[in-house]
Amino acid sequence: MLTDALIPVQRAEDIFPQYRSTPIGHLLEYHNLGRPFETYTRAELLVGMCMDNRKHLRIPDNFAYIIRAGGANLRPSEFKVSYAIAVGGVSAIALIGHNNCGMVNLAARKDQFIDNLVENGGWAREQAEEHFMSFAPLFEIGNEIDFVLSEAVRLRHRYPKVLVAPMLYRVEDNLLYLLHEE
């Protein structure tokens, strides 16, 4: 992982200027800085983050829609993204990858995936192999930082009026980091 791409947010001044006083800035303040919760009657933000069970955001109720998908890959959930923008009225997306993601290097887990789908899921081996071979290429993300940065660019092109912020959640300290974009 390219740790020089990670920008820690330890005080409000660390938040990039374009995110201050926006739902993105508020997310960083709530989660990293312990900002007291405000009351929300509707979501202001869409959070796209991995389904990994090691991550939990510190945010108030009703503040955000959250889509959890392997690797924070929102491509298969694009209709839900559109819904949050069109019907939910969100104006910002926080795209949050995390380190040590299981969607990185899926090929290395092929045997484990197949063996355990047979053992724990009751699948036939051939069916489990076909399932892995069909879907692993769709969900493999390469490396976490590069994927989140490229997905942020894609979402910005798709939704040009929506503020999109790429971030990384470090499981070691449970904090959000902004990503340096070139």
Confirm if 170 and 177 have CB atoms less than 8 A apart.
Answer: yes
Half-sphere exposure of 14 (CA within 13 A, CB side): 15
Any idea of the CA torsion for 102, 104, 108, 114, to the nearest 10 degrees? 50
Question: Structure pTM?
Answer: 0.90
Each of the 182 residues of the chain gets a pLDDT tens digit; together they read 456 789 999 999 999 999 999 999 999 999 999 999 999 999 999 999 988 888 889 999 999 999 998 888 898 899 999 999 999 999 999 999 998 878 888 889 999 999 999 999 999 999 999 999 999 988 888 889 999 999 999 999 999 999 999 999 999 999 999 999 97
Q: What superfamily in CATH does domain 3-104+143-179 come from? A: Carbonic anhydrase (3.40.1050.10)
Domain ranges, ordered by start, for the chain: 3-104+143-179, 105-140
What does the buried/exposed string (b/e) look like for 65-78 if buried means 16 or more CB atoms within 10 Å of the residue's CB? bbbebbbbbbeeee
Rounded distance between C-alpha atoms, residue 85 and residue 90, angstroms: 5
